[in-house]
Amino acid sequence: MAHKGLRFPPALQIFPNLRHWRSIRPRRLVEVPIGHNGQVSDKLVVPCLRHLYHDLGVLVYSGLNHGQIVRVGEILRHIANSGGPGKMITMTEWAEKARTRRLTKLGDGDLFEAVDVAHGGIIKPQSILRLADESFQEHIRAKIEESGFSKDNIQLRDRYIIVRSVPSPKGIITETINGPRRLSIDIFTSLKTDERNGHVTCEMQLYTAGKGEYAGNARVDYQLLRVDDEEKTMKPLQAHLELDTRGDDATGIRAVARKIVKTQILAQLWKLEGETWAGKADRFVNYTKVGVKMRRPTHQGDVSKADEEDKESREAGDESPPKDPVVGSQ
C-alpha cells in the first residue's frame, strides 16, 4: 500500500533554497507531519528511517540553540550505536540476525550511466544479483560449518530469484564540495530455512555507508544438495542450519526493535521539529490537497504581520538565509 505524499516535502516548501540540492530528500509523508506528536503505525517506521538523515539536516538548517544541538547529537549517537539507518531497517523487518559486510568499491560496469546528480551511481540489477549470490553463499557456507557439516561436499542451487525495484533505489555517488564521490556500500544478509523442504531463503539489502541510503534489494532461495562421491549421488540436505531466531519469536523481536527506533530516535526528532519549524509548516503546508485534513497550528492565535510577510516571500519563491543558531542554555 502506497503512503500518501505531497508534491514537495514540507521542508522544501518552507525552505525553497534547499531545492537547489537534488540529493536532499526530506520526508513528505502526510501521516507523519512535521513535529508529529502522536502514534505512528509500524508500517511507517521504515519510510521514516529512509529519510532520517535528511530530516535531521533540515532540522539543523532551520536554526537550533545550544541545548537543541546537544539533543541532535544524542540522536546521532543512538543512530551510530544502532548501526545506521540500514541496520535499523533490517532490525525492524527481519527476525533473523543480519550478517554485515562492507564493499569499498564497485566498478563502472556495475552502475547505470547517468547525466544528472539525482540518478548518479544506481547499481544495475545484474550486479545486485551477483553481490547477493556472493554474500549468500559466503553466509550459508559459514552456517554449514557451524552446524557440523563439511562445506566441501555441499552444493547450492538457486530455486527462486528476485531483484526488487521497489522502493526505488538511490545512487551510490554523492556530490561534495570537491566533486562527485563514490560511496562504499554496506551489505546486510539474513537466512531462514523452510522446514517443509529444507530450502534456505536469503534476503539482502544494500545501503550506502555513512549516509544510509537504500541502494538495492534481492532475495534468492537455495536448495542444499549433499554430494556423495563414493555413491556418485546428490541428495537434498534436509538438516536445518542453526539460525539465530525463528518461529513465533519473530514478531516479538521486530516489535521490540520498532519500539526502540520510535522512542529513542524518531520521537526525539519530531519533538525537536515541534520546537523549531513545525509552526511554519502548520500554517503554510496544505495537507488537504491529498485528502487529509490539515493539522491545526501547535500554537493557536493570530498570525503576526511578520509571518504574513514571510508567507508572501515564500510564495514568491524567495527565502532569506537562516538565522545563526542561538548559543546558550535551553
Cross-strand partners of 101? 187
Domain borders along the chain are 10-86+256-315, 96-246
Please tell me what DSSP assigns to residue 5.
Answer: B
The arithmetic mean of pLDDT across residues 245-267, rounded, is 79
Q: What is the pLDDT of residues 144-196, one digit of tens each?
A: 888 777 778 888 889 999 998 878 888 898 878 888 888 999 999 998 887 77
Beta-strand pair 214-228/233-236 = antiparallel
User: What confidence score (pLDDT) does residue 315 get?
Assistant: 47
> For residues 325 and 328, what is the distance between their CA atoms, to the nearest angstrom?
9
User: What confidence score (pLDDT) does residue 77 get?
Assistant: 95
Please tell me what DSSP assigns to residue 16.
Answer: G
Q: What is the pLDDT of residues 8-25, one digit of tens each?
A: 799 999 999 999 888 889
User: What confidence score (pLDDT) does residue 243 get?
Assistant: 58
More confident residue, 119 or 268: 268
CA angle 161, 165, 167 (to 5 degrees): 130
> For residues 73 and 87, what is the distance between their CA atoms, to the nearest angstrom?
19
Instruction: State the residue for C-alpha cell 541532535.
Output: 72
317 pLDDT exceeds 60?
Answer: no
Give CATH for domain 96-246: 3.10.129.10
Q: What is the pLDDT of residues 285-311, one digit of tens each?
A: 765 544 444 444 443 333 333 344 444
**269 by DSSP, 3-state: which?**
helix
The arithmetic mean of pLDDT across residues 30-55, rounded, is 92
53 pLDDT exceeds 50?
Answer: yes
**207 by DSSP, 3-state: which?**
strand
Instruction: State the residue for C-alpha cell 505531497.
Output: 6
Of the listed ranges 41-50, 89-98, 124-133, 243-252, the one predicted with least confidence = 243-252
The arithmetic mean of pLDDT across residues 196-201, rounded, is 81
> If you average pLDDT over every residue of the chain, what do you get?
80
User: What confidence score (pLDDT) does residue 148 get?
Assistant: 75
Confidence of residue 330 (pLDDT cuts 50, 70, 90): very low
